[in-house]
């Protein structure tokens, strides 16, 4: 499973996820083997990247997040969102914010660990 | 109270004005017969502006696949209104200080937050199929400009406001209302109105904390309102306080988004912000994961 | 303090004046341009009207092209729409015709370089230098890509090749082109929907036509079937009428000579024609008997036919069975005495009166007694019994039973005997004469009263015939629907019957 940018797509690659256009229409199903025509269609719709079948092993090692840091992050968010969480949209925003913050921190720690 | 704001603004003689080139462009654009070449000619006289614009147009901000080498070319590609808004964006950043000086107002945090909101508004424009994404970008960029006015021209009161925010851990708009009688949103609106900017920018800026009051441009106002909230949620820059204002239900309605759109919007905001900040604010050395603005305040 | 005006001031003043004048003329120029633009916009109204009336892509393209040419110098123009299944952008119309290939190639290049998708996601008209056209003879200097979108949906892309330099094209032309593109998008969406609707409509129409044809055929079949039914009905009625007429005629034609035969033979037997020898008397008695039997047959047949065709109806009155039996006594007794059979009547006093047709009940009882006597050997016993019976539905009816000590009836024959023209013994040498119609007629007559008739019998021991009659008015089943309401007398009036019985020499001994 690899994410390939549109310009790097070659005919013969096989899709592992379905591809949609900006209107939400299904352009290509998963499992489709790409032809030049398919690639042209993706380019016309401005699909920036797709997931294809690949041989390389993805780095499975997931970085560890310091639990203290995680706690501090959640505390911050809770303070920030205090009093406005009665709305489900606000709860969703907080959830995504937490998710993205954690990811950022993990990426940062990965970078650090890599030196 | 409203009259006080007027008087205050009238008294501020040293209120910054828009650069001449921008006002000339705005005038030119009103003429339907203007061509890209005409505008290009005007802008080219300002080399720094030209360079900035071309950098912006060629950056990930636009993601145009080919290199654009002249302003007139840029206009044919992105359009007149888009270019005008870009000039506006770059000019505004020139008018006001970008770096933190003595005095305490966190300009860097401020601009980061403004650019973050601008990026957010631009992304939202795409999700609601609104064709004026550059316009929303500028509205987002300018939404908190009133704070700079307060910081520069109402220092005493503004200091008090910041003290109260810190003591009560409250929202800036609430403290402003208590101490000043008006909010930075209204001030900002007044300023850009004075500048002669279109109403489609004035209303979103003035009412971004009260989007339900928007009459002429409810969708644009709602977009800026939401972008501001998302920006604070993502901790991009410093909005002046550490609280998140509640999402106004009227605003959410007028946007017509689904709750499932929030995740992709917040994802795209990230990329958009990165692209913008490198194109507009190259002097920013802030790394992602910077300690929050609150800590900066404590440092002072 | 007075201040004198220096030359410097005048200079400044003149400069400012010049500046002001410049600005004013610039503003005037702008104003003029705006007015022109607005009028151009207004005249685009014609385009809007026309395009709204267009129903298919070729028509839309024609109107569109005319407008584009008004706004900008067009070398070539091509319209691409999104294919509904593959979401590919397909060339639908191009002008001039020869430029089709070139336009395809240009678009392909624009897609390849990502400018096509960029314009699409921008949702705004964009002008770019051509990528393919440069190598071609076409004098294209600039290519305009105008995405065709409606609200959220992407309909297609418009490609315009112009010989003008992009940067010299006035803002208003581009603005108007954007408006035109927008309107075209909606027109195309409408046209596509219209086509879909038309197709759907055509399909519905087809189905309706088919269905109508089916129904019409069915209808025809039904009509012919109905016609046949009507025909058959008419024929049946005709047959019925013929039969009735026939029977009426026949019976009349038969009865007349029969009456003569019977009458004259009686006259002779009475000695009114002179003295007769014993031999002669025997022969005449034979003739008389045969005549009587023949008359009986004819009458029976007529009766049955009348009952079957519903031309007989019941005339009901309330009467006592005891009275009826007393009436019958003189008729019945002689015949039974002849065979020295014992005859008893057992009718309780508290039996209520019956509601029935008196003549027909006479007929039934006489017939049953006749049979009883016929099939019982000399010295046998015949009894008439009457009781109240409660039916299964709690109705009370009168049960009349006529029993004998005769030869009995085989179980398998017990139902057959009520069928017309059936006698128990079908062999040629019939011991007992009779038309075989008697019991059939009895059954019909009993049923016309809403009653039932049946037999209990043991071979060699005897038989008991039962039948039921209603007690009161309301208990009678309506049998009148079986025919017309004409009240007809039973074919036999009792004077005839009595005449039969009196001439008892005819009875088989």
Residues of C within an 8 Å Cβ radius of A: 86-89, 108, 111-112, 114, 116-118, 120-121, 152-154
Asked if A46 and C114 come within 8 Å (Cβ–Cβ), the reply is: yes
| Residue among A100, A4, A109, A101 nearest A62 (CA) | A109
Question: Could you tell me the pLDDT band of residue C52, with boundaries at 50, 70 and 90?
Answer: confident
Q: How many pairs of residues across A and C have Cβ atoms under 8 Å apart?
A: 39
Can you tell me the distance from the alpha carbon of B209 to that of C366, in angstroms, rounded to the nearest whole number? 116
Cβ distance B218 to B254 under 8 Å? yes
pLDDT for C401: 93
What is the average pLDDT value for chain B, to the nearest integer?
A: 84
Half-sphere exposure of B11 (CA within 13 A, CB side): 10
Can you tell me the distance from the alpha carbon of B132 to that of B126, in angstroms, rounded to the nearest whole number? 9
- Residue found by looking up tokens 């003595």 in the block: B102
C61 in helix, strand or coil? helix
Whether C105 is covered by a domain: the verdict is yes
pLDDT for C190: 86
| Residue among A84, A80, A77, A85 nearest A102 (CA) | A77
**Interstrand relation of C317-319 and C354-356 (parallel, antiparallel or unpaired):** antiparallel
In chain C, pLDDT over 70 holds for what percent of residues?
88
Q: Which residue of A has its CA nearest to B294?
A: A76
pLDDT for C502: 46
Answer yes or no: is pLDDT of A72 > 90: no
Domain containing C343: what range? 314-426+434-481
| Residue among B125, B146, B106, B123 nearest B231 (CA) | B123
Mutation target to probe the A interface, by most A beta carbons within 10 A, among C87, C116, C148, C189 is C87
Can you tell me the distance from the alpha carbon of B95 to that of C109, in angstroms, rounded to the nearest whole number? 42
pLDDT for C436: 64
CB-neighbour burial class of residue B121 (10 A; exposed 0-12, middle 13-18, buried 19+): buried
Indicate if A110 and A86 belong to the same structural domain: yes
A108 at interface of B, judged by CB pairs closer than 8 A: yes
CATH value at residue C448: 3.30.565.10
CB atoms within 10 A of CB C437: 21
| Residue among B271, B284, B280 nearest B53 (CA) | B280
Can you tell me the distance from the alpha carbon of C313 to that of C324, in angstroms, rounded to the nearest whole number? 20
- Does the reported pTM lie above 0.80? no
Can you tell me the distance from the alpha carbon of B225 to that of B206, in angstroms, rounded to the nearest whole number? 11
Can you tell me the distance from the alpha carbon of C282 to that of C225, in angstroms, rounded to the nearest whole number? 63
Mutation target to probe the A interface, by most A beta carbons within 10 A, among C88, C115, C147 is C88
Asked if C126 and B33 come within 8 Å (Cβ–Cβ), the reply is: no
Report the domain count for chain A: 2
Angle at B32 between CA B26 and CA B38, to 5 degrees: 65
Please tell me which of the candidates A27, A37, A45 has its beta carbon nearest to residue C117: A45
Interhelix angle B133-142/B80-95, nearest 10 degrees: 10
Asked if A90 and B247 come within 8 Å (Cβ–Cβ), the reply is: yes
Can you tell me the distance from the alpha carbon of C198 to that of C454, in angstroms, rounded to the nearest whole number? 75
A86: region left, alpha or beta (phi > 0 left; psi from -120 to 50 alpha):
alpha
What's the token pair of residue C126?
């964009």
Indicate if A39 and A74 belong to the same structural domain: no
Asked if A43 and C154 come within 8 Å (Cβ–Cβ), the reply is: no
A44 at interface of B, judged by CB pairs closer than 8 A: no
What is the average pLDDT value for chain C, to the nearest integer?
A: 82
State the smallest CA–CA distance between residue A61 and chain B in angstroms: 22
Q: For C357-367, how does the pLDDT look when each residue is reduced to its tens digit (9 = 90+)?
A: 888 898 889 88
Whether A97 is covered by a domain: the verdict is yes
Please confirm whether the linkage preceding C269 is cis (ω < 30° from 0).
no
Can you tell me the distance from the alpha carbon of B2 to that of B7, in angstroms, rounded to the nearest whole number? 9
| Residue among C422, C400, C404, C420 nearest C412 (CA) | C422
Answer yes or no: is pLDDT of A115 > 70: no
Answer yes or no: is pLDDT of B192 > 80: yes
Q: Identify all chain B residues contacting C167, using CB atoms and an 8 Å cutoff.
A: 35-37, 40, 72-73, 75-76
pLDDT for B250: 94
C36 at interface of B, judged by CB pairs closer than 8 A: yes
Can you tell me the distance from the alpha carbon of C500 to that of C509, in angstroms, rounded to the nearest whole number? 15
Can you tell me the distance from the alpha carbon of B25 to that of B89, in angstroms, rounded to the nearest whole number? 14
Whether C460 is covered by a domain: the verdict is yes
Half-sphere exposure of B296 (CA within 13 A, CB side): 22
pLDDT for B137: 95
Mutation target to probe the B interface, by most B beta carbons within 10 A, among C30, C123, C167 is C167
Whether A62 is covered by a domain: the verdict is no
| Residue among B272, B280, B278 nearest B125 (CA) | B272
Q: Identify all chain B residues contacting A104, using CB atoms and an 8 Å cutoff.
A: 288-289
Q: Identify all chain C residues contacting A44, using CB atoms and an 8 Å cutoff.
A: 88-89, 111, 116-117, 120
**Interstrand relation of C381-390 and C342-346 (parallel, antiparallel or unpaired):** parallel
Instruction: Name the DSSP letter for residue B239.
Output: -
Please tell me which of the candidates C29, C33, C167 has its beta carbon nearest to residue B37: C167
State the architecture of B5-16+98-298 in CATH terms. Answer: Orthogonal Bundle (1.10)
Whether A105 is covered by a domain: the verdict is yes
Domain containing A92: what range? 67-114
Last residue of a domain, one of C197, C214, C247: C197
Can you tell me the distance from the alpha carbon of C308 to that of C360, in angstroms, rounded to the nearest whole number? 15
- In the predicted model, what is the mean pLDDT of residues C137-158? 84
Indicate if A47 and A84 belong to the same structural domain: no
- In the predicted model, what is the mean pLDDT of residues A10-16? 88
State the smallest CA–CA distance between residue B238 and chain A in angstroms: 12
Asked if B259 and A100 come within 8 Å (Cβ–Cβ), the reply is: no
Answer yes or no: is pLDDT of C507 > 50: no
Asked if B32 and C151 come within 8 Å (Cβ–Cβ), the reply is: no
| Residue among B245, B100, B106, B229 nearest B177 (CA) | B245
C125 in helix, strand or coil? coil
Whether A91 is covered by a domain: the verdict is yes
A7 at interface of B, judged by CB pairs closer than 8 A: no
| Residue among B224, B217, B213, B216 nearest B250 (CA) | B213
pLDDT for C217: 92
What is the average pLDDT value for chain A, to the nearest integer?
A: 82
Asked if A45 and C118 come within 8 Å (Cβ–Cβ), the reply is: no
State the smallest CA–CA distance between residue B159 and chain A in angstroms: 22
- Residue found by looking up tokens 């003043």 in the block: C13
Whether A110 is covered by a domain: the verdict is yes
Cβ distance B161 to B175 under 8 Å? yes
- Residue found by looking up tokens 């910041």 in the block: B162
Question: Could you tell me the pLDDT band of residue A42, with boundaries at 50, 70 and 90?
Answer: very high
Q: Identify all chain B residues contacting A101, using CB atoms and an 8 Å cutoff.
A: 234-235
CATH value at residue C125: 3.30.450.40
Could you report the predicted ipTM of this complex, rounded to two decimals? 0.79
- In the predicted model, what is the mean pLDDT of residues B227-255? 90
Can you tell me the distance from the alpha carbon of B180 to that of B157, in angstroms, rounded to the nearest whole number? 7
Q: For B57-99, how does the pLDDT look when each residue is reduced to its tens digit (9 = 90+)?
A: 998 888 888 899 999 999 999 999 899 999 988 888 888 888 8
Choose the weakest-confidence range: A85-94, C29-38, C498-507: C498-507
What residues does CATH 1.10.3210.10 cover in chain B?
A: 5-16+98-298
State the smallest CA–CA distance between residue A3 and chain C in angstroms: 19
pLDDT for C478: 40
Q: How many pairs of residues across B and C have Cβ atoms under 8 Å apart?
A: 80
Please tell me which of the candidates B77, B82, B131 has its beta carbon nearest to residue C128: B77
Answer yes or no: is pLDDT of B290 > 50: no
Q: Identify all chain C residues contacting B82, using CB atoms and an 8 Å cutoff.
A: 124
What's the token pair of residue C471?
């007690």
Asked if C117 and A40 come within 8 Å (Cβ–Cβ), the reply is: no
- Residue found by looking up tokens 């990165």 in the block: B274
Instruction: Name the DSSP letter for residue B128.
Output: T
Please tell me which of the candidates A6, A27, A43 has its beta carbon nearest to residue C87: A27
Please tell me which of the candidates A23, A37, A44 has its beta carbon nearest to residue C116: A44
Q: Identify all chain A residues contacting B289, using CB atoms and an 8 Å cutoff.
A: 104-105, 108
| Strands laid side by side in the C342-346 sheet | C342-346, C381-390, C396-404, C462-470, C453-458
Can you tell me the distance from the alpha carbon of C338 to that of C334, in angstroms, rounded to the nearest whole number? 6
Q: Which residue of A has its CA nearest to B234?
A: A97
Please give the C-alpha separations between residue A44 and each of A24, A91, C280, in angstroms, as whole numbers.
Answer: 15, 37, 130
Whether C229 is covered by a domain: the verdict is no
Dihedral over alpha carbons C194, C198, C203, C205 (to 10 degrees)? 140
Beta strands in C300-427 (DSSP E): 317-319, 342-346, 354-356, 381-390, 396-404
- In the predicted model, what is the mean pLDDT of residues B29-39? 90
Indicate if A51 and A74 belong to the same structural domain: no
For B207-236, b where at least 16 C-beta lie within 10 A, e where not — what string? bbbbbeebeebbbbbbbbbbbbbbbbbbbb
What's the token pair of residue B75?
């206009």
CB atoms within 10 A of CB C111: 23
Can you tell me the distance from the alpha carbon of A2 to that of B299, in angstroms, rounded to the nearest whole number? 45
Asked if B247 and A80 come within 8 Å (Cβ–Cβ), the reply is: no
A89 at interface of B, judged by CB pairs closer than 8 A: yes
Please give the C-alpha separations between residue C219 and each of B30, C106, C209, C338, C496, in angstroms, as whole numbers.
Answer: 75, 63, 15, 70, 58
Question: Could you tell me the pLDDT band of residue B103, with boundaries at 50, 70 and 90?
Answer: low
pLDDT for C246: 79
Can you tell me the distance from the alpha carbon of B144 to that of B110, in angstroms, rounded to the nearest whole number? 8
Report the domain count for chain C: 2
Can you tell me the distance from the alpha carbon of C399 to that of C455, in angstroms, rounded to the nearest whole number? 12
A29 at interface of B, judged by CB pairs closer than 8 A: no
Indicate if C193 and C319 belong to the same structural domain: no
Can you tell me the distance from the alpha carbon of B92 to that of B188, in angstroms, rounded to the nearest whole number? 12
Can you tell me the distance from the alpha carbon of B215 to that of C500, in angstroms, rounded to the nearest whole number? 118
Please tell me which of the candidates A79, A80, A96 has its beta carbon nearest to residue B263: A96
State the smallest CA–CA distance between residue C124 and chain B in angstroms: 7
């Amino acid at each position: 499973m690899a994410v390939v940018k549109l310009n790097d797509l070659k005919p013969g690659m096989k899709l592992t996820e379905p591809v949609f256009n900006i209107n939400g229409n299904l352009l290509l199903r998963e499992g489709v083997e790409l032809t030049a025509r398919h690639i042209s269609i993706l380019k016309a719709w401005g699909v920036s990247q797709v997931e294809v079948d690949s041989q390389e092993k993805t780095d499975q090692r997931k970085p560890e997040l310091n639990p203290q840091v995680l706690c501090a992050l959640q505390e911050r968010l809770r303070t920030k969102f205090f009093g406005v969480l009665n709305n489900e949209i606000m709860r969703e925003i907080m959830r995504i914010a937490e998710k993205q913050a954690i990811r950022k921190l993990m990426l940062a720690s990965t970078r650090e660990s890599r030196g | 109270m409203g009259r006080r704001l007027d008087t205050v603004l009238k008294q501020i003689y040293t209120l910054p004005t828009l650069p001449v080139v921008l006002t000339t462009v705005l005038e030119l654009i009103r003429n339907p017969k203007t061509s890209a070449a005409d505008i290009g000619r005007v802008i080219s006289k300002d080399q720094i502006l030209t360079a900035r614009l071309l950098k912006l147009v060629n950056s990930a901000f636009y993601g145009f696949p080919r290199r654009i080498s002249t302003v007139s070319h840029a206009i044919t590609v992105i359009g007149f209104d888009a270019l005008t808004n870009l000039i506006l964006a770059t000019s505004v950043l020139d008018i006001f200080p970008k770096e933190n000086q003595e005095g305490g107002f966190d300009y860097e945090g401020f601009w980061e937050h403004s650019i973050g909101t601008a990026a957010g508004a631009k992304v939202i424009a795409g999700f609601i199929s609104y064709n004026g994404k550059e316009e929303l970008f500028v509205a987002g960029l300018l939404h908190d400009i009133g704070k700079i006015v307060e910081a520069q021209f109402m220092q005493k009161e503004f200091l008090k406001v910041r003290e109260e925010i810190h003591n009560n851990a409250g929202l800036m708009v609430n403290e402003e209302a208590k101490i000043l009688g008006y909010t930075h949103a209204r001030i900002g609106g007044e300023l850009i109105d004075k500048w002669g900017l279109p109403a489609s920018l004035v209303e979103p800026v003035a009412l971004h904390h009260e989007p339900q009051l928007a009459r002429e441009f409810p969708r644009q106002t709602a977009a800026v309102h939401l972008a501001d909230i998302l920006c604070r949620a993502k901790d991009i820059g410093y909005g002046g306080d550490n609280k998140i204002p509640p999402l106004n239900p009227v605003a959410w309605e007028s946007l017509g988004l689904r709750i499932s759109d929030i995740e992709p919007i917040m994802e795209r905001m990230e990329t958009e912000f990165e692209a913008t900040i490198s194109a507009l604010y190259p002097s920013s050395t802030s790394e992602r994961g910077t300690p929050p603005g609150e800590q900066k305040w404590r440092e002072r | 303090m007075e201040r004198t005006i220096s030359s410097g001031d005048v200079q400044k003043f003149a400069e400012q004046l010049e500046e002001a004048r410049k600005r004013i003329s610039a503003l005037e120029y702008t104003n003029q341009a705006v007015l022109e633009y607005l009028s151009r916009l207004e005249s685009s109204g014609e385009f809007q009207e026309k395009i709204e009336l267009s129903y298919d892509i070729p028509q839309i393209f024609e109107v569109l092209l005319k407008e584009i040419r008004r706004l900008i110098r067009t070398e070539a123009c091509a319209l691409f729409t999104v294919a509904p299944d593959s979401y590919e952008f397909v060339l639908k119309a191009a002008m001039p015709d020869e430029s089709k290939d070139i336009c395809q190639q240009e678009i392909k290049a624009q897609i390849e370089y990502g400018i096509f998708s960029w314009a699409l996601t921008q949702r705004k008209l964009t002008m770019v230098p051509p990528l393919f056209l440069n190598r071609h003879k076409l004098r294209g200097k600039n290519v305009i890509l105008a995405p065709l979108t409606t609200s959220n949906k992407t309909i297609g892309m418009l490609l315009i090749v112009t010989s003008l330099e992009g940067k010299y094209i006035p803002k208003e032309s581009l603005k108007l082109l954007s408006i035109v593109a927008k309107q075209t998008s909606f027109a195309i969406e409408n046209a596509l929907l219209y086509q879909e609707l038309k197709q759907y409509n055509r399909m519905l129409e087809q189905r309706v036509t088919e269905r109508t044809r089916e129904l019409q055929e069915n209808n025809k079949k039904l009509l012919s079937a109905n016609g046949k039914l009507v025909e058959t009905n008419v024929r049946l009625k005709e047959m019925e009428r013929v039969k009735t007429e026939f029977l009426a005629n026949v019976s009349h034609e038969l009865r007349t000579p029969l009456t003569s035969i019977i009458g004259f033979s009686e006259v002779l037997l009475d000695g009114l024609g002179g003295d007769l020898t014993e031999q002669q008397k025997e022969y005449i008695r034979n003739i008389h008997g045969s005549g009587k039997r023949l008359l009986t047959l004819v009458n029976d047949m007529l009766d049955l036919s009348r009952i079957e065709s519903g031309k007989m109806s019941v005339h009901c009155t309330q009467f006592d069975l005891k009275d009826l039996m007393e009436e019958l006594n003189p008729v019945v007794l002689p015949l039974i005495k002849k065979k020295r059979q014992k005859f008893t009547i057992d009718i309780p006093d508290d039996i209520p009166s019956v509601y029935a047709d008196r003549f027909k009940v006479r007929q039934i009882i006489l017939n049953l007694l006749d049979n009883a006597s016929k099939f019982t050997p000399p010295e046998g016993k015949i009894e008439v019994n009457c009781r109240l019976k409660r039916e299964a539905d709690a109705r009370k009816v009168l049960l009349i039973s006529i029993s004998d000590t005769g030869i009995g009836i085989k179980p398998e024959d017990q139902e057959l005997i009520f069928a017309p023209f059936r006698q128990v013994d079908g062999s040629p040498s019939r011991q007992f004469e009779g038309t075989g119609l008697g019991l059939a007629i009895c059954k019909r007559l009993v049923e016309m009263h809403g009653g039932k008739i049946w037999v209990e019998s043991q071979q060699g021991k005897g038989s008991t015939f039962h039948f039921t009659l209603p007690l009161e008015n309301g208990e009678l089943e309506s049998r009148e629907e079986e025919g017309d309401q004409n009240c007809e007398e039973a074919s036999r009036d009792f004077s005839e019957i009595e005449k039969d019985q009196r001439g008892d020499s005819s009875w088989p001994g």
